[in-house]
């Protein structure tokens, strides 16, 4: 296979040097150029035609977000953002992912040489993965007015049915690469009285709070970062905190969020498999499972467990996924009843939530 050709854009000469050397050390990557600001980068993109850009978010003459928005509107291409571990860095990075950046990695505050060296494998993997993606042109879409939010008191609970702890539907969602944007599309389409949603998105602890706040602003549901022992209610979406597994448990009267500081599962914490397994055990056939865009296979086996306990399951299709790793693995495993384009997922989940709850299915052979 040919090498992934990368253009490094950063206003720091030291970062350009260290990042270029680190990427060039990977036999599958070639740094074809560097640029100190977006205006220089614009010309080098025309000259060098790189496969992937690494882009700093804060630069002179034109900030990274403005450049990214122009780029994704006029010439969509894979971009990996370089962010700082600050509240401002988290907000800007989430906005970059919304515009169309494929992924991001955090720039260390000090000891750049050793910190970059320690993260070399992760950064090179993100760049090579980005080269396989198909970014779409960014367009500014005028949003519809969001209906007023309702508290849980305004939502009537479903009638209790035999064989399931709490007959209210709970929708469990998992995602990774490209998932922050996919989850936004999903939540924007949900009404304020939608079934409760529990969401595991692979995301660092420094970013999950800002991500939940951003989702709350764009959704008619109440969206929050999940807290330990927090009751799960219709009309609410609970996002797993970065660095902790999110589980759904039955406390004898209601379903609650439980946070678990255990080891990584499938190299992720939070893990989608952990969430899906807990939902299969505590919600059963009243659950609905959805696995969206993401690298790897986390969530595939958990989705199969949900399907086998009688829960309807679906995955995002390949054409609309940034990376069809997790949903593709689930589809090949026979864990999903259907695959759908992202724009159809919300309507399908709402339709499934209205259907009668069925019993467990026999395990796939």
Query: What b/e string do you get for 263-286 counting C-beta neighbours within 10 Å, with b at 16 or more?
Result: eebbebbbbbbbbbbbbbbbbbbb
Q: For residue 211, give both structure tokens.
A: 């991500």
Query: At 286, phi and psi to the nearest 5?
Result: -80, -5
User: How far from chain centre, in Å, is Cα 353?
Assistant: 23
Q: For residue 305, give both structure tokens.
A: 């467990």
Q: Determine contact, residues 45/74, Cβ cutoff 8 Å.
A: no
Q: How do strand 245-250 and strand 255-260 relate by DSSP bridges?
A: antiparallel
- List active site positions: 176, 202, 298
DSSP tag of 165? S
**Nearest CA-CA partner of 345 in 173, 94, 180:** 173
Q: Determine contact, residues 47/22, Cβ cutoff 8 Å.
A: no
**Nearest CA-CA partner of 150 in 91, 192, 99:** 192
């Amino acid at each position: 296979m040919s090498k992934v050709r990368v253009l490094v854009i950063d206003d720091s000469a030291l970062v350009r040097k260290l990042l270029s050397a680190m990427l060039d050390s990977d036999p599958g990557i070639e740094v074809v150029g560097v640029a100190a600001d977006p205006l220089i980068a614009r010309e080098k993109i025309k000259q060098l035609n790189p496969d992937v850009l690494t882009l700093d978010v804060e630069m002179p003459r034109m900030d990274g977000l403005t450049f990214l928005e122009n780029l994704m509107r006029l010439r969509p291409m894979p971009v990996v953002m370089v962010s700082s571990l600050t509240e401002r860095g988290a907000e800007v990075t989430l906005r970059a992912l919304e515009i169309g950046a494929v992924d991001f990695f955090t720039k260390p505050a000090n000891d750049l040489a050793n910190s970059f060296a320690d993260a070399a494998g992760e950064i090179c993997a993100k760049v090579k993965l980005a080269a396989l993606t198909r970014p779409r042109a960014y367009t500014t879409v005028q949003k519809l007015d969001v209906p007023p939010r309702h508290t849980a008191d305004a939502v009537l609970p479903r009638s209790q049915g035999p064989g399931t702890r709490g007959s209210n539907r709970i929708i469990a969602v998992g995602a990774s690469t490209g998932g922050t944007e996919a989850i936004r599309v999903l939540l924007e389409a949900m009404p304020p009285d939608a079934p409760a949603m529990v969401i595991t998105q692979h995301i660092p602890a420094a970013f999950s709070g800002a991500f939940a706040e951003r989702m709350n602003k764009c959704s008619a549901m109440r969206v929050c970062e999940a807290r330990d022992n927090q009751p799960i209610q219709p009309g609410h979406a609970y996002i797993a905190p970065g660095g902790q597994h999110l589980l759904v448990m039955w406390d004898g009267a209601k379903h609650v969020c439980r946070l678990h500081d255990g080891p990584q599962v499938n190299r992720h914490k939070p893990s989608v498999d952990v969430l899906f397994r807990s939902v299969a055990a505590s919600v059963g056939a009243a659950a609905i499972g959805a696995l969206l865009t993401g690298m790897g296979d986390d969530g595939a086996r958990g989705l199969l467990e949900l399907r086998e306990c009688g829960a309807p399951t679906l995955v995002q299709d390949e054409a609309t996924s940034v990376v069809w790793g997790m949903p593709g693995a689930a589809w090949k495993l026979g864990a999903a009843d259907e695959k759908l384009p992202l724009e159809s997922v919300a309507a399908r989940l709402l339709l499934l939530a209205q259907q009668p709850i069925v019993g467990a299915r026999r395990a796939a052979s």
